Amino acid sequence: MIKDLFNKQKPKKKKYATIPTEASKQDVPEGIMQKCPKCKKIMYTKELKKNLNVCMQCGHHHGMTAVERRDSFIDEGTFQEFDAGLTSTNPLNFPGYLEKVDVDKQKTKMNEAVLTGVGRVEGFETVVAIMDANFRMGSMGSVVGEKITRAIEEAGRRGVPFIIFTASGGARMQEGVLSLMQMAKTSVALKRFSENGGLIISVMTHPTTGGVSASFASLGDYNFAEPGALIGFAGRRIIEQTIHEKLPEDFQTAEFLLKHGQLDAVIHRHEMKEKIAFLLDIHQQGGELA
Amino acid sequence: MIGLEFEKPVLELKGKIAELKEFTSTSDVDLTEEIEKLEQRLKKLEKDIYESMTPWDRVQMARHPERPTTLDYIGYLFTDFMELHGDRLFGDDGAIVGGVAKYHGMPVTVIGHQRGRDTKENIKRTFGMPHPEGYRKALRLMNQAVKFKRPIICLIDTKGAYPGKAAEERGQSEAIAKNLFEMAGMEVPVICIVIGEGGSGGALALGIGDKLFMLENSTYSVISPEGAAALLWKDAAQAKRAAETMKITAGDLKELGVIDAIIPEVSGGAHRNVAQQAALIDQTLKPALEELLQLSVPELLGERYMKYKQIGEYTL
């Protein structure tokens, strides 16, 4: 057609997308490869997992599920979980809340945004609480607060250290002021534990913000963070709107906090277990001069 | 007096009554009977309107520009107040005031968020939104209170901790967290009263104690209604709906088991009569303090622990 002739002079973008056949889809199953959001390198997911989700090229620390974290940190076969059945109710009758919780339960195979239990770290018995940012962004509602509080109390009963890995966007909006009060509850429990000589180690992982950063995450005898983790109280956008100023690129990163005296150290994930085990050893009672 | 939207009918009627009174006094026509009738109507109208305030109405009331602030109440509740400044680390934050005072003759430490009463003062006090040095000053004064065995009274009134660059650099999170942690162990009675807005962690950082009270028209929430609406429905204009959904009024918090009691307000709001409002606070504060002073330190701390331990809802 004449019309088509004219069109040819101005080549249009390809109109059609190639839809892969079922067979070709199966050639590369979903999730087999993963792209580093920082350096854009494409890696085999399996290889990345083996490297504890740390990018092989640039060292970027990707997220970890609570279970992956447990497996990387606790001696194999020593972990006993606490309160696996504790689950959220809907105290404010917030529309659609429990449905969202259910979706995340399916997705993460967890009952809530924190995994708690007791295990050994290079032989040292320790109670741990590991948050999972994949469950409602790791937000803290009544169950998270209660599980952490019970874990702290259990550490007190056993006379062992309490270690927490935080990963949370803050309070769980759908539980309103009850979620706010979990900051109080966990802090009150930590105070008692601390008064009785308990050792608290906090490791902030990406992201640790809002009510979680303003409670137990900052209350360790030792406060550590993973490289590049976002840590802060107020959100970046709110601050920019309030002070009408562009914030520096590294604002609220672990390195930024370290520079401003807010952290004891930033620890690479590959060295996490070894360094914390060293601290646990330092805290064994009754050393002897050789 | 600045009127709020929902109370307009009351204010209009009040205006009319005043006009008629003026008219009666300056002319020969006697309208006393009409005025009496209108005054009765006003009473009923006030009752109807102020006793059926929606959560959003209360939010407006809590933020009323004339709402009494910490320093206003200090003037009525205490004698011989002396303000003490500075955190000894960085600076003095005007968004939190504190000092020593006498309460019915007893030495106490009183600390509270302080909003400005006009724009100039608000800028100086960063609108009652504290920086870390504010929380650290509060903690310093509380530790001093413990050393000298003075009860601590905290008045809460803030939109939240200040969201700024400097605040983050100086450890806003740590400052708040440390206050929660240390307040749990204060070996003297601690009484906290929400007098206006109780905004999130910034409010909670003065809010761990043995008794928590709220004024009838104050609010306490994890996030402002505007913030909640923006987060949950991507629309800050839905703040009114958020105020209802988020359960932030004194009545809601009593029902959720978070606060111990509601302190009633003067009809039409605390700003109508500060002296009378202070007296209403006193009526709750004094017996509460008397009760706490009977407890030994272990009893006090044990009960404080259980008070927070029981907050939250979950099932197995």
For B216-246, write each residue's pLDDT tens digit: 999 999 999 988 888 888 887 889 999 999 9
Rounded CA gap, A250 and A278, in Å? Answer: 29
The average pLDDT across A246-264 equals 95
Q: Which of B212, B256, B311 to mutate to test binding with chain A, by most A CBs within 10 Å of its CB?
A: B311
Binding residue ranges of A: 36, 39, 55, 58
Q: Give the pLDDT score at A9.
A: 58
> Which chain A residue lies closest to B169 (C-alpha atoms)?
A260
Percent of chain A clearing pLDDT 90 (strictly above): 81
Which residues, numbered 95 to 114 in chain A, qualify as contacts with chain B under a Cβ-Cβ cut-off of 8 Å?
Answer: 95
Pairing of strands A114-121, A124-131: antiparallel
- Rounded to an integer, the average pLDDT of A6-31 is 63
B177 → closest Cβ in A89, A142, A215: A215
Q: Which pLDDT value is given to residue A220?
A: 98
Is B315 close to A260, i.e. CB distance below 8 A? no
Show Cβ contacts of residue A209 under 8 Å, excluding neighbours closer than 6 positions: A168, A169, A170, A230, A231, A232, A233, A235, A252
> How would you classify residue B240: left for phi > 0, otherwise alpha for psi between -120 and 50, otherwise beta?
alpha
Calculate mean pLDDT across residues A28-54: 89
- What are A60-100's pLDDT values in tens digits? 999 999 999 999 999 999 999 999 999 999 999 999 999 99
Q: Which candidate in A146, A162, A175, A188 is best for mutational testing of the B interface (most B CBs within 10 A)?
A: A188
Q: How far is CA B309 from the centre of its chain?
A: 24
Q: Is the pLDDT of residue A24 over 90?
A: no
Q: Looking at the predicted complex, does its ipTM rise above 0.90?
A: yes
Longest C-alpha distance within chain B, in Å? Answer: 77
Distance, CA of B255 to CA of B220 (rounded, Å): 13
- Residues A205-224 have a mean pLDDT of 98
- Give the C-alpha separation, B177 to B184, whole Å: 11
In chain B, whose CA is at the least distance from the CA of A215? B177
Of B112, B282, B311, which is closest to residue B197 (Cα–Cα)?
B112
Asked if A219 is an interface residue toward chain B (Cβ–Cβ < 8 A), one would say yes
Residue B117 DSSP label: S
Answer yes or no: do A191 and B182 touch at CB < 8 A: yes
% of chain B exceeding 90 in pLDDT = 83
CA distances in angstroms from A65 to A58, A92, A99, A179, A235, listed in the order given:
21, 29, 21, 22, 23
Asked if A129 and A147 touch (Cβ cutoff 8 Å), the reply is: yes
Between the two ends of chain B, the Cα-to-Cα distance in Å is 53
pLDDT of residue A285: 72
Mean pLDDT, rounded, for A216-225 = 98
Please tell me the least confidently modeled range out of A1-10, A59-68, B5-14, B84-93: A1-10
**Matching residue, tokens 């009652």:** B128
> Chain A contact for B174, CB < 8 A?
yes
Query: SS3 for A138?
Result: helix
Asked whether the bond before B225 is cis by omega within 30 degrees of 0, the reply is no
Distance from CA of B245 to the nearest CA of A (A): 7
| Residues B59, B277: Cα–Cα separation, whole Å | 18
Average pLDDT over residues B105-114: 98
Q: Decide if B4 touches A, using CB distance below 8 A.
A: no
Q: What gap in Å lies between CA A88 and CA B287, rounded to an integer?
A: 37
CA distance A218 to chain B (A): 5
Q: Is 60 exceeded by the pLDDT of residue B303?
A: yes
- pLDDT for the residue numbered A288: 74
Interchain proximity B172–A234, CB inside 8 Å = yes
Which among B75, B85, B166, B88 is positioned nearest to B117, based on CA atoms? B75
On average, the pLDDT of chain B sits at 95
Task: Please report the number of interchain residue pairs, chain A to chain B, with beta-carbon separation below 8 angstroms.
Answer: 185
Please tell me the predicted confidence (pLDDT) of residue A127: 98
Average pLDDT across chain A, whole number: 92
Residues tagged in the binding site annotation of A for Zn(2+): 36, 39, 55, 58
DSSP B150: -
User: Which structure tokens are listed for B311?
Assistant: 């907050």
Q: Which residue has the higher pLDDT, B150 or A288?
A: B150
Q: What is the DSSP string of A11-73?
A: PPPP--PPPPPHHHHHHS-TTSEEE-TTT--EEEHHHHHHTTTB-TTT--B----HHHHHHHH
B308/chain A closest Cα distance in angstroms: 5
DSSP-based three-state secondary structure for A205 = strand
Q: CB B314 to CB A195 under 8 A?
A: no
Query: Which one-letter amino acid corresponds to residue A93?
Result: N
Close Cβ partners of B142 (under 8 Å, ≥ 6 residues apart) = B109, B111, B152, B182, B183, B186, B190
The reply to whether residue B248 touches residue A247, judged by beta carbons under 8 angstroms, is no
Whether chain B has a CB inside 8 Å of the CB on A222: the answer is: no
Chain A segment 259-288 residues within 8 A of B by beta carbon are: 260-262
Task: Give the minimum alpha-carbon distance from B314 to chain A in angstroms, rounded to a whole number.
Answer: 5
Amino acid A8: pLDDT: 56
| Mean pLDDT (whole number) for B191-205 | 97
In this structure, how many other beta carbons lie within 10 angstroms of the beta carbon of residue A275?
15
pLDDT in the model for residue B21: 86
CA distance B222 to chain A (A): 5
> How many Å lie between the alpha carbon of B182 and the closest alpha carbon of chain A?
7
Model pLDDT, residue B227: 87
pLDDT of residue B3: 85
Nearest chain A residue to B186, by CA? A191
Alpha-carbon gap, residue A208 to A168, rounded angstroms: 5
Q: Do B164 and A243 touch (CB under 8 A)?
A: yes
CA angle B267, B270, B275 (to 5 degrees): 105
- The mean pLDDT of B178-185, rounded to a whole number, is 98
Residues of A in contact with B313 (CB under 8 A): 89, 91, 142, 175, 178
Structure confidence at residue B170 (pLDDT): 97
Q: Per-residue pLDDT averaged across B95-101, rounded?
A: 98
Encode pLDDT of B5-58 as tens digits: 899 999 999 999 988 888 888 887 888 888 899 999 999 999 989 988 999 999
pLDDT at A28 over 60: no
Report the pLDDT averaged over residues A246-271.
96
B/e letters for B120-156, b = 16+ CB within 10 Å, e = fewer, are eebeebbbbbbbbbbbbbbbbbbeebbeeebbbbbbb
Q: What are phi and psi of A247, to 5 degrees?
A: -90, 150
Rounded Cα gap, residues A35 and B107, in angstroms: 64
Query: DSSP 3-state assignment of B178?
Result: helix
